[in-house]
């Protein structure tokens, strides 16, 4: 028996968002609001940077102080833009990763400076070929600098890096990072979309992950892990699924992650296109109401 739920961390892409549109469904929105009205803290946990995540969450009627764990845990802020915590990847490490990862696919670094040059890369067409929608959505924030190392000066550290390519190339890239001289100075987590043969390897400060950021947020709020739930669909959600007292994997997650869920005791929700987040929250709210009756 779990204690009353006080905190729910929810991934965005493939979890809160449907597959074919960037708009959160009305049912999911209602469930988010109802959870907040019941006193549950809703935290959005995403690999997206804040500027790429918060526009999709605005005008939904969520509280201004709704926590957003962004950039795979490198930044935690509120929906209204107040920074809670921020970590950085050392510039000299990022420079080393450029040369290491260039053979595997496109490399991008994210900086904490809203506007132009928030994202830097050296080959726009290479990135566009793999993640065209991301490029078009973020074009106003992208600066092309070649070689990319020139954008990474000491004292101006990025908050996150990203490599993008095929699933197999990103698996190889992850192995390269984990066996490189930078392995102790950089963490990496892979997100896969097998149907499109696209994978993203996120490069984060050492020790940083969604799970780490969720643990820090819970401590700040005085919430025990047994009072927390995490909902996700991909490998970059594994840390928070493991940390939370209740881990929920979406039905649209890859079979490897769903198989892992069975050994970890995580439950399965309906898919993102079937409003799986709402189904989980509605059930949790019903149990909360019963316990208070």
Domains delineated in the chain: 7-86+208-292 (3.40.50.1000), 91-204 (3.30.1240.10)
Nearest one of 100, 94, 68, 99 to 81, comparing CA atoms: 68
Q: What is the CB-side half-sphere exposure of residue 129 using CA atoms within 13 A?
A: 10
**How high is the pLDDT of residue 192?**
86
SS3 of residue 146 by DSSP: coil
Joined together, the tokens standing for residue 264 give 């970890």
Alpha carbon distance 69, 51 (integer Å): 12
Angle (deg, nearest 10), helices 26-37 and 276-292: 30
Residue 133's pLDDT is: 74
Please give the pLDDT value at position 139.
Answer: 86
pLDDT at position 33 is 98
What does each of the 293 residues of the chain score in pLDDT, given as a tens digit? 678 999 999 999 999 999 988 899 999 999 999 999 999 999 999 999 998 999 999 999 999 999 999 999 999 999 999 999 999 999 999 999 999 999 998 899 999 877 678 999 998 877 756 577 777 888 888 999 999 999 999 999 999 999 999 999 999 999 999 999 999 999 998 888 888 888 999 999 999 999 999 999 999 999 999 999 999 999 999 999 999 999 999 999 999 999 999 999 999 999 999 999 999 999 999 998 887 76
Place of tokens 């019963």: 290
The Cα 135–Cα 128 span in angstroms is 6
Q: Round to whole Å and give the CA distance between 28 and 24.
A: 7
Q: How far apart are CA 242 and CA 247, in angstroms?
A: 7
Residues in the chain: 293
Task: Report whether 79 contacts 64 (CB < 8 A).
Answer: yes
Is the separation of the CB atoms in 115 and 124 below 8 Å? no
Both structure tokens of 35: 């959870």
Sign of CA dihedral 52, 267, 255, 251: negative
Three-point CA angle 166, 168, 174, nearest 5°: 100
Task: Give every CB contact of residue 70 below 8 A, 6+ residues apart in sequence.
Answer: 46, 48, 49, 50, 53, 76, 77
């Amino acid at each position: 028996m779990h204690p009353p739920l006080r905190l729910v961390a929810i991934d965005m892409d493939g979890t809160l968002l449907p597959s074919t549109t960037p708009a959160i469904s009305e049912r999911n929105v209602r469930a988010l609001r109802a959870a907040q009205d019941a006193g549950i803290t809703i935290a959005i946990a995403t690999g997206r940077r804040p500027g790429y995540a918060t526009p999709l969450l605005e005008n939904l009627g969520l509280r201004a102080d709704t926590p957003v764990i962004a950039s795979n845990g490198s930044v935690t802020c509120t929906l209204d833009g107040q920074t809670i915590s921020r970590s950085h990847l050392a510039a000299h490490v990022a420079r080393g990763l450029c040369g290491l990862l260039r053979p595997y696919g496109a490399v991008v670094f994210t900086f904490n400076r809203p506007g132009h040059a928030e994202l830097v890369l050296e080959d726009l067409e290479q990135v566009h070929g793999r993640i065209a929608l991301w490029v078009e959505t973020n074009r106003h924030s992208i600066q092309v600098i070649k070689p990319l190392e020139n954008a990474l000066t000491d004292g101006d550290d990025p908050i996150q890096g990203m490599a993008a390519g095929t699933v197999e190339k990103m698996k190889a890239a992850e192995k390269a990072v984990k066996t490189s001289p930078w392995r102790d100075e950089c963490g990496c987590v892979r997100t896969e979309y097998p149907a499109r043969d696209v994978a993203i390897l996120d490069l984060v400060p050492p020790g940083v992950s969604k799970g780490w950021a969720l643990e820090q947020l819970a401590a700040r709020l005085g919430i025990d892990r047994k009072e927390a739930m995490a909902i996700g669909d991909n490998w970059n959600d594994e840390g928070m699924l493991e940390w939370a007292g209740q881990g929920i994997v979406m039905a649209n997650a890859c079979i490897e992650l769903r198989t892992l869920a069975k050994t970890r005791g995580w439950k399965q929700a309906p898919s993102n296109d079937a409003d799986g987040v709402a189904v989980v929250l509605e059930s949790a709210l019903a149990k909360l109401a019963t316990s208070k009756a």
